[in-house]
Amino acid sequence: MKIMVAVKHVVDYNIVPRVKQDGSDVEISGVKMGINPFDEIAVEEALRLKEKGIATEIVAVSIGAENSKDTLRHALAMGVDRAVLVQAEGKLQPLGVAKLLKAVAGREQPDLILLGKQAIDDDAGQAGQMLAALLGVGQGLFASEIKVNGNEIEVNREVDGGTETVALQLPAIVTADLRLNEPRFIKLPNMMMAKKKPIDVIAGTELGVDFASHLSLLNVAEPAPRKPGVIVNSVAELVEKLRIEKVLA
């Protein structure tokens, strides 16, 4: 089967982002960027399905500016066969991304589409579900384990208060949770090899879908800082303080 994996180029998860001076947006120029961690897990899962002989081809797709190629190269170096960049400048929202992904899926005809459960920049967690709705297929969200059985994929999902297992008819969408796997490290030779693998570039405007933004960003701000805390010297003092705060009976 053929797998399509959607990957997003985001600010590195270790970076504490800063607000631009005029409060118009988050400052991302000159900031270290990389593959969205959940998408890396999705790529890893696709690779494991290929190593098990279940997947035959893996295509990574990213939507965004030219620099998203870095994240596609990362996926190629991990072992993805080829990559597609849908060039779309400006602010993209999950609905527009889902529409563009649907158009790419129409060309590629994958049996399974993997995404991360959310991107760590906008924390929206919508693209997978929206894509599933647009394609009219089932969604296995927050996957912590998957098993392909013929024309069905069994997905163990992380849900509030426990886990749940659902079986989806293929083609289907699965979004990766943290616990799905531990992504592999990239070895230097693979990094060099990835440079030779193809990245098809498609202009978003060529795909014939309206991916205009429905949301405008009015401003961004850092949350109000907490008032400085105090260090207490003993458990007894701690309990006393909490009683004064009335958070302990």
Partner 1 sequence: MSVLILAEHDGQHIKQSTRQAVTAAAAWQHPIHLLVVGADVSAVAAEAATIAGVAKVIKVEAPHLVHLLAEDVAAAVQQIAAEYQVIVAAHSTLGKGVLPRVAALLDVGMVSDVVEIQAPATYVRPIYAGNILATVQSSDAVQVVTVRATSFEAAANGANAEITSAAAPAAFGKVRWVSEQRNLSDRPELATASVVISGGRSLGEQFNTLLEPVAHKLNAAIGATRACVDAGFAPNDLQVGQTGTVVAPELYIAVGISGAMQHLAGIKDSKVIVAINHDPDAPIFKHADYGLVADLFKALPELNAALG
Restricted to residues 120-179, the positions that interact with partner 1 (CB under 8 A) are 120-134, 137-139, 141-142, 144, 154, 158-169, 172, 177-179
Which stretch of DSSP H or E encloses residue 42? helix 37-51
Site for partner 1 in 32-91 (CB under 8 A): none
Judged by CB under 8 A, does residue 93 bind partner 1? yes
Pick the closer one to partner 1 by CB: 73 or 117: 117
| Cross-strand bridge partners of residue 62 | 85
Judged by CB under 8 A, does residue 1 bind partner 1? no
Token digits of residue 84: 């597609």
Pick the closer one to partner 1 by CB: 135 or 199: 135
Judged by CB under 8 A, does residue 241 bind partner 1? yes
CA dihedral of 45, 51, 52, 58, whole degrees rounded to 10: 60
Token digits of residue 173: 């969408």
Judged by CB under 8 A, does residue 222 bind partner 1? yes
Judged by CB under 8 A, does residue 181 bind partner 1? no
- Nearest approach, Cβ of residue 205 and partner 1 (Å): 19
- Give dist(CA 105, CA 77) in Å, integer: 22
Draw the binding track, 96-125, toward partner 1 (x: CB under 8 A; -: no contact): --x------------------xx-xxxxxx
- Give dist(CA 74, CA 70) in Å, integer: 6
Span from 45-53, 54-62, 192-200, 216-224 in contact with partner 1 (CB under 8 A): 216-224
Pick the closer one to partner 1 by CB: 83 or 207: 207
Which stretch of DSSP H or E encloses residue 106? helix 94-108
Long-range contacts of the stretch 184-193 (C-beta < 8 A, 24+) = 184/44, 184/47, 184/78, 184/79, 186/74, 186/77, 186/78, 190/77, 190/78, 190/79, 191/73, 191/77, 193/77
Pick the closer one to partner 1 by CB: 74 or 99: 99
Pick the closer one to partner 1 by CB: 169 or 205: 169
